[in-house]
Structure 1
Amino acid sequence: MERSIDVVERERMAKMATPTTSNALLLHLRRRLGDWPLFVLLVAPNLLLLAVFTYWPLVYNAYLSLMQWDLISPSKLFVGLENYRFLLEDSEFREVSRNTVVFTVGTVGGTVVLGLLFALLLDQPLRGIALARGVVFAPYVLSGAAVAVFWVNMLNPRFGVVAEVASWLGTVSPDWLNHPRLAMVAVILVYIWKNVGFTTIVYLAGLQRIPKELYEAATVDGAGMLERFRFVTMPQLGPITLFLVVVSTISSFQAFDLIKVLTDGGPVNATTTLLFYIWEQGFVAFNAGRAAAAAVVLFALLAVISLLQVRIGERRVSYD
């Protein structure tokens, strides 16, 4: 009797230990999926926000670029690629494209080169260096419109500080913001003044993480200051330089507030860049289709330039 009871009990325990079909399926799915359900649960809110506020506007903008619409009419007229054809044949758009190239090259080159020079200077153990770093970085955190208003008064040819300095030197300050050629120079200089602090701080952080042993070894090998800068500093700052060039390029393409307050795109479109042209077409001329087509061109240019910069960086920049 006791033996039969033991046998029954063991059979019952064996049945409990043996998983049923449903339990086995759940275990199989859990092994196959792993942590994917938790990953999807955590990432889904961010993906939803990106889809609503980033990807959907891109898709809708591409759709608008095929339409003719004045932002008021309840209906949109499909015109296909007419807006793109207009941009290719428009002399004003070609001038705007040239202005954008000049502005981008000037601002990116200026901020990167001056940022590196300032970083090298501010990396020295000098008295008051912390205050100097704060002064260099301060314009970056200011509003672009506020900086532009400040420089409008500085560059005023009648009562501006620049005019006063020019009078002390026995010359006359030109009307920077209303001169067809000097206006772009003024806008580039103001943009560099505002943004060079960010480049300086990033370069400064990169300089402070370069091992001192590399400089000591180069000095022992007889390398001078220029050789140490060329063969130690610049290779070590390669990844940072690539990052700053990419970020500065994207930022320069998006510049609007400085141009709006300083020159309003003038004189005679001399400082109108691609982003400013998009704003004018969309919210001044009320031509949403052309504005959307120009925005697609801007997006494509940024994508191509960023891709080329990254590809070049992968070949020439060492992360070791």
Structure 2
Amino acid sequence: MAPALFFLTLFVFVPIIYVVYLSFYKSNLLSPHPTFVWLQNYVDLFHSENFLQAFHNSVFLGVGMLLLSLPLGLVFASLLNMKLQGSQVYRTLLFSPYVMPLVGSGLVFTLLFNTDDGLVNHMLTALSLPAVNWLGSSHTALFSILVLSVWQYTGYYMLIFLAGLQNVPQPLVEASQVDGAGRGQTFLHVTLPALSPSLFFAMVVCLIQSFQVFDQVYVMTGGGPDGASTTLTYYIFEKGFQMFQMGPAAAASVFLLVVLAVLSLLQVYISRRWVVDES
């Protein structure tokens, strides 16, 4: 217990405390003398259009992943739960994007969305539709990031739902079928309530992962054009390691930490209040 607590303190609590400390200073990696500014970094943060845009983009990714990744994961999990022939192969194929390196996946999708030679635009051209500048337009750059994120994480949520479906009490399912309930009614009134722990867990994990999107942005768009695809994590990277403004970067990091903590606490609260107890 003691060694674990030591490493937890050294690699988790100490960095968090140091980041909070930095957020109260105007410091620059090129300047050895930081200036104490109290809450000014936070005030400047919420008056920064770039920060607000990054926050909006992260929220967009979160909502998009909730509306796309989770339903797709649930559909795939339901199909695999039917014990179809070759289901293990399908499960491996669907989960494989999650274990692929994000940088490699980002490079592949960069080629797919390439304006001149990308497969997506070739398909549009074949359908007599105009080619789209997916990664160079402020209207489509963030959507391209969302497509990669959905492809990357859907298999992970599928496994969460599949584990939940396999733990649904079969006597309840059989009883509903005896009472004349169809598949849809059984799913809505028996399976879905029993799946609520997995569902709420996946929702919170999905939101947390959406706020941590970085590699995809770094590889595919670099936050552009004009910040249209900049996320909170990429904003922190820009402030801290490109502009060397450690104070604002630390303040943004603390804000992100608070957001993730609130989401985690919300998951605990919802689980205790609305999750169905299978026992």
Report the TM-score when normalising by structure 2: 0.96
Which of these residues, 91, 95, 98, is aligned with residue 140 of structure 1?
A: 98
CA deviation after TM superposition for structure 1 residue 162, in Å: 1.1
CA distance in 2 between counterparts of 1:209 and 1:85 reads: 48
Task: Say how many residue pairs are matched.
Answer: 278
Unpaired segments of 5 or more residues in structure 2? none
CA distance in 1 between counterparts of 2:109 and 2:75 reads: 23
Residue matched to 2:4: 46
Residue matched to 1:306: 264
Per-residue Cα deviation, 1:14-65 (whole angstroms, up to 9, x for no partner): xxxxxxxxxxxxxxxxxxxxxxxxxxxxx11011001111001111101100
Do structure 1's residue 73 and structure 2's residue 31 form an aligned pair? yes
Which of these residues, 189, 196, 203, is aligned with residue 231 of structure 1?
A: 189
CA distance in 1 between counterparts of 2:31 and 2:206 reads: 38
Which of these residues, 150, 156, 166, is aligned with residue 208 of structure 1?
A: 166
Residue matched to 2:198: 240
Match of 1:76, SS state, is: strand
Match of 1:124, SS state, is: coil
CA deviation after TM superposition for structure 1 residue 78, in Å: 1.2
CA contact (8 A) 2:106 2:220 kept: yes
Do structure 1's residue 55 and structure 2's residue 13 form an aligned pair? yes
Q: Which moved more, 1:302-311 or 1:182-191?
A: 302-311
Unpaired segments of 5 or more residues in structure 1? 1-42
Residue matched to 1:15: none
Do structure 1's residue 176 and structure 2's residue 134 form an aligned pair? yes
CA distance in 2 between counterparts of 1:168 and 1:93 reads: 40
CA distance in 2 between counterparts of 1:178 and 1:108 reads: 25
Residue matched to 2:211: 253
CA contact (8 A) 2:59 2:211 kept: no
CA deviation after TM superposition for structure 1 residue 207, in Å: 1.2
Q: Which moved more, 1:294-303 or 1:89-98?
A: 89-98
Q: Give the AA of the match of 2:204.
A: V
CA deviation after TM superposition for structure 1 residue 72, in Å: 3.0
How much identity, in percent, do the aligned residues show?
Answer: 39
Residue matched to 1:278: 236
Which of these residues, 152, 155, 159, is aligned with residue 197 of structure 1?
A: 155
Report the TM-score when normalising by structure 1: 0.84
CA distance in 2 between counterparts of 1:193 and 1:105 reads: 15
Q: Once superposed, what is the RMSD of the aligned Cα atoms? A: 1.3
CA contact (8 A) 2:201 2:267 kept: no
Q: Give the AA of the match of 2:134.
A: W
Q: Give the AA of the match of 1:77.
A: T
CA contact (8 A) 1:67 1:79 kept: yes
Do structure 1's residue 297 and structure 2's residue 231 form an aligned pair? no
CA deviation after TM superposition for structure 1 residue 126, in Å: 2.3
CA contact (8 A) 1:242 1:310 kept: no
CA deviation after TM superposition for structure 1 residue 70, in Å: 1.2
Match of 2:16, SS state, is: helix
CA distance in 1 between counterparts of 2:161 and 2:48 reads: 41
CA distance in 1 between counterparts of 2:11 and 2:223 reads: 28
CA distance in 1 between counterparts of 2:129 and 2:115 reads: 12
CA distance in 1 between counterparts of 2:95 and 2:127 reads: 30
CA distance in 2 between counterparts of 1:126 and 1:313 reads: 32
